[in-house]
Each structure stands twice: as C-alpha cells, then as structure tokens.
Amino acid sequence: MKKLIEKAHTLVEALPYIREFYGKTIVVKYGGSIGDDELSNFARDIILMKYVGMHPVVVHGGGPQIGSLLERLGIESRFVAGLRVTDRETMEVAEMVLVGKINQKIVATIQTLGGNAVGVSGKEGKIILAKKIDVTKFSAENRIDIKDKEDLGMVGEVEKINPDLIKVLENADYIPVIAPIGFDDQGNTYNINADHVAGKIAGALNAAKLIILTNVSGILDEEEKLVSSLSESTARNLIKNGAISSGMIPKVICAIESLHEGVDKVHIIDGRVERALILEIFTDAGIGTEILL
C-alpha cells in the first residue's frame, strides 16, 4: 500500500505541471550522442506528454552516426572548430543518415509504443530556409579562431523557419519529428547544427519550453559543479572564463537566442537518465540546467 500511495503522490505532484503546459508546445532536441538504449524511454516520455495534452516537437541530431557511415564508406571526416567540413558527397551521406535512418527510427519507435508521429526534414513544407554558415559570426559567438576564408562546404544555418506544416501536424494530433536539413532558394541542401535548428523552431512556435537532451548532466561551473539555474549574463560569463566550452557553447548560444525569440524557458539535461523528460517537466525538483533571461 505504501508504494501505491507514493505513486499517487507522484501523480498529484505532476498535476500543476500538466495544467500549466496543457495545449502548449514543447520542443525537444534529441542528441545523436545519446545511445539507442535510451530511445524507447525517450519515446514513452514523448507519448505521455502528448496524451496529457502537450504538443511535443522533436528535433534530432546524428553526428556520430554520420561519422560512422562515412568511415565505413572510406570517406574521411575533417572538422573545423567542431563543424564537419561537408562536401557534396558528405552531404548526401548526412542527409541519408539523418532523414532516412535516424528520423525514421525515432518515428517507428514512437509509433510502436502507441504514439502517432510523422517524420520530416526541413525541406518538407519549406520548414527550414537555410543559408551557408557565416564563419566569421560563428567564430565570434563561439570564441573559436577560424580563418575567414575557410570553406566548410554545405554546412548551413537557419535563415527562416516556416512553422505552418509543424502546426498542421500538431493540430492533427501527430508528433512532428524533424531532421536538421534545410535548403536555400536555389535548391542547395545544407546540414545544420541540430541545437541551432531546435532553438529556431522553438522560437518560431513560441514554445513554452525548449529541452536539449545531451550526454552530460548539464552546465558545470568553474568548480565543475552542476548549475541548476542560470541567467543569460551568468552563462555568457561562464563562456568567457572557459567554464562553458567546446560543444556546450553552441547549445548555450542557441538557448539564449531562443529565449530572446519568445521561448519561456530552456533546459539542458542528461538524456541518458531514465525518465529524463518526465523528471524535468512533471516534478518540482527537475534535473539538469535551466537557462533564463
């Protein structure tokens, strides 16, 4: 009986959060660094969110999987400041992995477990209008020295998000699952950082939350202790003094940008933790790091 009562208390604890986010959009970025073992748990969390009246939108990455296939095909991967130099051959592989494999695997898992999902890339419905990444701007934002003339190939950034198709899918009670592939008005295809895409989509949808699932516990301070909540100014100071570094910088930058574009809250959490989304959304304590303006 005691265990049953504890379960009942957990449901009661979730009630105000269900009420708060009922009918609202929550964008979730599922990192490619999270292992396959966690996918079923993630899918169940997403389905639960949908069934209690929220509108989850999934954006996924896939860098490790792209690298693995390139290696098997004998195609060398070269990186500049953490960005994969993407020629046309690499772009074809990236699109095949992101759209044809990872996207469909997430969709299939959600549907197998009782949800309704539709997989799209940024090309469908002109969701993501992209352009070639501005290397100078990227290097300045991320405190990385990149030669201005360094050609990264088909590495892109979001120029504009058209949320119409996403809203159609939401209104039809589907869970949109979006691969971070965009194209420009000349029809050129670009591989875009999934954190960047998730932040821009969250802003375009006026999402109540953007949740970035990664393979670390959250943001750590100078003493390597988890920071549960921080402001934009504190985050920028942590970047400046080097406490936030490497691949965490783009995540924090995109989080700050999405807040300025209308997203209420951003969370960076460890997607390897069982029931990570449920713990973050439905409990008083939450996990990971919350970023606020």
pLDDT at 259: 93
Q: 179-235, pLDDT tens digit by residue?
A: 999 999 999 999 999 999 999 999 999 999 999 998 888 888 777 788 888 888 888
Q: Is pLDDT at 141 greater than 80 in this prediction?
A: no
Q: Is pLDDT at 44 greater than 70 in this prediction?
A: yes
pLDDT at 144: 60
Q: Helices in the chain by DSSP H: which ranges?
A: 2-21, 39-51, 63-72, 88-95, 103-112, 135-141, 164-171, 194-204, 232-240, 248-260, 276-282
pLDDT at 219: 86
In whole angstroms, what separates CA 239 from the centre of its chain? 20
CATH 3.40.50.1100 fits 29-292, yes or no: no
Mean model confidence pLDDT for the chain: 88
pLDDT at 270: 87
Segment 256-278 mean pLDDT: 90
Cβ pair 264, 208 in contact under 8 A: yes
Closest CA to 220 of 200, 242, 201, 203: 242
Segment 127-136 mean pLDDT: 89
Could you tell me the pLDDT band of residue 142, with boundaries at 50, 70 and 90? low
Q: Is 5 helix (H, G, I), strand (E, B) or coil?
A: helix
Phi, psi at residue 224, to the nearest 5°?
60, 35
Q: Is pLDDT at 165 greater than 90 in this prediction?
A: yes
pLDDT at 149: 61
Q: Is pLDDT at 77 greater than 80 in this prediction?
A: yes
C-alpha 157/C-alpha 73 separation (Å) is: 27
Q: Helices in 142-247 by DSSP H: which ranges?
A: 164-171, 194-204, 232-240
Cβ pair 84, 155 in contact under 8 A: yes
Q: Is pLDDT at 148 greater than 70 in this prediction?
A: no
